[in-house]
Chains A and B, each alone.
Chain A
């Protein structure tokens, strides 16, 4: 009797609020995909800065390189060393405090991108380091600039090997963007809480949310599994 009523509540809740749940799901997917994409672009730049050997005889250029490397190390250390929920609070309320009226979705996208960039920087750095040093030398010996060597030779090879790790980061982001509800981003977790609090049926609401997360993560993992030979269940993040 209890179970029948329980499941009936779930079905009714979903029928009455599916638009809210799907809106939340859409926001979650936007945050995860945009965050992973933008994070990847930032990570490519940061990894490039981190792996550079400072060999130039020009003092100012060498000084600039050291500053940039220091920034890259500090950046990665901060974003991997603090929880994303804290980063979200700090960024959103920090911007408010400085007088910037930033939208919560924009703040959420920025935070998830910056956070992802820190993890992917380490993934890309290790991917670049795993390549044969000769690939870089062969590029340089053809007269390519260092930047061209990275863009045309090293990144394409490193990224190919890193598809599973980047995919894992996407899966992690689908789940971890739930913490952005703390600043009011109306993603899936936020919507679950909103629907639950309107009816005081939190268990039912979060069963719906769980099923939606499970379905979307399973689809993403299946796609990843087909894309590469990596293990999509393995979480790549390692604390510093």
Chain B
């Protein structure tokens, strides 16, 4: 479904991603783990071209993504993103955050977009807050709305960039439960997280990254119990102790 070929990303003189060759299959939930600065988020942002790769190509459903507005807009409509810091539109209500994309990008009629958005808000337990301005919500509530906003685009893939990292500890669980619920519906997901419990619960596949490279790519969650690479072992020991 999504293929990254020979991706390299350089910021100034720093190589952030090197020699990335990876394919994400339809319906697969991939979790990317790794230490801070290992390039996890950059890899995720390269998938939908929020970061333009310095070298290499991204293929979405076998089509090469091109650096042209129409190509990027089509890609992003089908591969939406949930951010660490939510990035809800502060001037809009919860419902309007969820209908902006469907109305303006998918050209849905307002009543159709609102009905579908309410369905998604219900799914994440936020339908009762539909008329609230988003800056009146807690962190956990904001992230649930951000997930609903991504779902309203009926995307083929959702990219989660550390969705629980900016949350207070007591709010992490509500977001974890929401992501588990979304994952159970068979949506293709790529998720960068430090939440090992979440990763174990939803991952079909786990990728460990370090220093801009994919160190280990496992088709199940065995990586947590039987890591093959020494660097993976050291990382897992650090975060579980």
User: Chain A: residues with CB nearer than 8 A to chain B?
Assistant: 55-58, 132, 134-135, 137-146, 148, 152-153, 156-157, 160
Chain A CB within 10 Å, residue with most, of B67, B69, B85, B87: B87
Given contacts A55-B52, A144-B104, contact A138 B68 (CB under 8 A): no
CB-based contact A140/B50 at 8 Å:
yes
Given contacts A55-B52, A142-B80, contact A132 B87 (CB under 8 A): yes
Question: Shortest distance in angstroms between A49's beta carbon and chain B's nearest beta carbon?
Answer: 16
Contacts of B48 in A (CB 8 A): 141
Return the contact of B83 from the options A138, A143, A152 (Cβ within 8 A): A138
Question: Shortest distance in angstroms between B167's beta carbon and chain A's nearest beta carbon?
Answer: 16
CB-based contact A152/B104 at 8 Å:
yes
Question: Shortest distance in angstroms between B213's beta carbon and chain A's nearest beta carbon?
Answer: 25
Question: Shortest distance in angstroms between B150's beta carbon and chain A's nearest beta carbon?
Answer: 8
CB-based contact A145/B73 at 8 Å:
yes
Can you add 5 more A-B contacts, CB < 8 Å, to A58-B67, A137-B81, A143-B105?
A: A57-B67, A134-B87, A142-B100, A142-B105, A157-B91
CB-based contact A153/B89 at 8 Å:
yes
B7 touches A (CB below 8 Å): no
The 22 sampled A-B contact pairs (Cβ below 8 Å) are A58-B68, A134-B85, A135-B87, A138-B81, A138-B83, A138-B88, A138-B89, A140-B72, A141-B48, A142-B77, A142-B100, A142-B105, A143-B74, A143-B76, A143-B105, A144-B73, A144-B101, A144-B105, A145-B69, A145-B73, A152-B104, A153-B91
Contacts of B74 in A (CB 8 A): 143
Query: Top 8 nearest A-B pairs by Cβ distance?
Result: A143-B77, A134-B87, A138-B87, A142-B101, A141-B81, A143-B105, A143-B76, A57-B67
Chain A CB within 10 Å, residue with most, of B83, B88, B90, B149: B90
Given contacts A141-B80, A143-B77, A152-B104, contact A135 B89 (CB under 8 A): yes
Question: Shortest distance in angstroms between B65's beta carbon and chain A's nearest beta carbon?
Answer: 12
Contacts of B89 in A (CB 8 A): 135, 138-139, 153, 157
Contacts of A132 in B (CB 8 A): 85, 87
CB-based contact A56/B101 at 8 Å:
no
Chain B CB within 10 Å, residue with most, of A58, A132, A134, A143: A143
Question: Shortest distance in angstroms between A160's beta carbon and chain B's nearest beta carbon?
Answer: 7
Compute how far the CA of A142 lies from the CA of B105 in the bound complex, rounded to whole angstroms: 8
Contacts of B50 in A (CB 8 A): 137, 140-141
Contacts of B80 in A (CB 8 A): 141-143
Compute how far the CA of A137 lies from the CA of B72 in the bound complex, rounded to whole angstroms: 13
Return the contact of A142 from the options B52, B68, B76, B85 (Cβ within 8 A): B76
Contacts of A139 in B (CB 8 A): 89
CB-based contact B83/A134 at 8 Å:
yes
Compute how far the CA of A152 lies from the CA of B89 in the bound complex, rounded to whole angstroms: 10
Given contacts A134-B85, A152-B100, A157-B90, contact A141 B76 (CB under 8 A): yes
- 8 Å CB contacts to A: which residues of B56-110? 67-69, 72-74, 76-78, 80-81, 83, 85, 87-91, 100-101, 104-105
Compute how far the CA of A191 lies from the CA of B193 in the bound complex, rounded to whole angstroms: 70
CB-based contact B69/A146 at 8 Å:
yes
Question: Shortest distance in angstroms between B35's beta carbon and chain A's nearest beta carbon?
Answer: 23
Contacts of A57 in B (CB 8 A): 67
Contacts of A140 in B (CB 8 A): 50, 72, 76
Contacts of B101 in A (CB 8 A): 142-144
Compute how far the CA of A135 lies from the CA of B77 in the bound complex, rounded to whole angstroms: 16
B153 touches A (CB below 8 Å): yes
Compute how far the CA of A141 lies from the CA of B48 in the bound complex, rounded to whole angstroms: 7
